[in-house]
């Protein structure tokens, strides 16, 4: 009987090829997320996925600030300009999403229910490590879809544990579920290179390190970063001055999660950015 490995024509494999890349070249698998943002339908034509970017988070004097622009795109098309990419999971945890909103929002719902079930059955909060690994598992379980070119999600997770030191905790993930805890800031999505540049500059050469900023100054840094990203990345909405659409900004602190009102964001944008 012929072995399964013999069914693959090894002449199809190049020096840097793997099995999924061979399938894509033969039209049997959709394009990888990095090579394109579509999936193939029954007629093998390209159907762009809806994508949501850009997100950022950093520690400041009052806890962790998490922000995301509002734009969702599909290829060259702006699908929606009021997408919520910063989602509350429990009283002290926030998940910000970059990638396919449908998949990310479902992950957020599963996490919310998991944390709530644990709290009600165990009569205590799930540990930070448990929360971080729960999201990591959801990403790993989704990796099969990622390999097919659909459903990629690259989130940021922020939480606050008053019993631990440091209390403010911040993590970013890759699409395979690997988690990385950061000391100062994180950014993902198509506009993240510009955002990371701004945050690095402010943290190293600004008037104060990010961790020493008060809330107003922290919000202005976030707005500057997103506005800068929007100048060079069409998938980042930044601030829509005409439509008066502002990023979603949430603060994770000892007191829980607070969402900044558009009126407050608009005043700080006018004062420190525009």
What's the number of CA atoms in the CB half-sphere (13 Å) around residue 125? Answer: 14
The domains found in the chain, sorted by start residue, are 50-272 (3.60.20.10)
Q: For each of the chain's 274 residues, which pLDDT tens digit applies?
A: 545 444 445 444 454 556 666 666 766 655 554 444 444 444 444 556 778 789 999 999 999 999 999 999 988 889 999 999 999 999 999 999 999 999 999 999 999 999 999 999 999 999 999 999 999 999 999 998 888 878 899 999 999 998 888 899 999 999 999 999 999 999 999 999 999 999 999 999 999 999 999 999 999 999 999 999 999 999 999 888 888 899 999 999 999 999 999 999 999 999 988 8
DSSP H/E element including 65: strand 63-68
Exposure string for 117-154, b = 16+ CB within 10 A, e = fewer = ebeeeeeebbebeebbebbbebbeebeebbbbbbbbbb
Q: How far apart, in whole angstroms, are the C-alpha atoms of residue 54 and residue 51? A: 10
Cβ contact 265:223 at 8 Å: yes
Beta carbons of 59 and 239 less than 8 angstroms apart: no
Active site residue 234: no
Which pairs with CB-CB distance under 8 Å and at least 24 residues apart come from 125-130? Answer: 125/90, 125/92, 128/159, 128/161, 128/164, 128/169
- Of 151, 171, 163, 167, the C-alpha closest to 94 is 171
Which residue of the set 37, 40, 50, 53 is catalytic?
53
């Amino acid at each position: 009987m012929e072995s399964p490995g013999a069914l693959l024509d090894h002449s199809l494999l190049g020096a840097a090829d793997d099995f999924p890349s061979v399938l894509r070249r033969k039209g049997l698998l959709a394009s990888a997320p990095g090579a394109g943002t579509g999936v193939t339908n029954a007629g093998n034509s390209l159907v762009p996925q809806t994508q949501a970017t850009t997100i950022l988070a950093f520690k400041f004097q009052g806890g962790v600030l998490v922000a995301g622009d509002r734009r969702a795109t599909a290829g060259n098309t702006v699908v929606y300009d009021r997408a919520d990419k910063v989602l509350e999971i429990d009283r002290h945890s926030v998940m910000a999403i970059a990638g396919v909103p449908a998949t990310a929002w479902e992950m957020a719902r599963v996490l919310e229910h998991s944390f709530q079930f644990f709290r009600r059955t165990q009569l205590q909060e799930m540990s930070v490590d448990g929360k971080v690994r729960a999201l990591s598992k959801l990403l790993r379980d989704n990796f099969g879809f990622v390999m097919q070119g659909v459903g990629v999600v690259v989130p940021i997770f922020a939480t606050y544990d008053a019993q631990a030191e440091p209390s403010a905790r911040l993590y970013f993930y890759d699409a395979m579920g690997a988690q990385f805890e950061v000391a100062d800031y994180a950014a993902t999505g198509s506009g993240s290179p510009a955002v990371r540049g701004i945050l690095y500059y402010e943290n190293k050469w600004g008037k104060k390190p990010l961790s020493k900023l008060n809330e107003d100054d922290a919000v202005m840094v976030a707005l500057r970063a997103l506005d800068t990203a929007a100048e060079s990345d069409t998938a980042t909405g930044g601030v829509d001055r005409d439509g008066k659409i502002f990023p979603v900004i949430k603060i994770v602190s000892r007191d829980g999660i607070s969402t900044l009102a558009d009126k407050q964001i608009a005043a700080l944008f006018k004062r420190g950015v525009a």
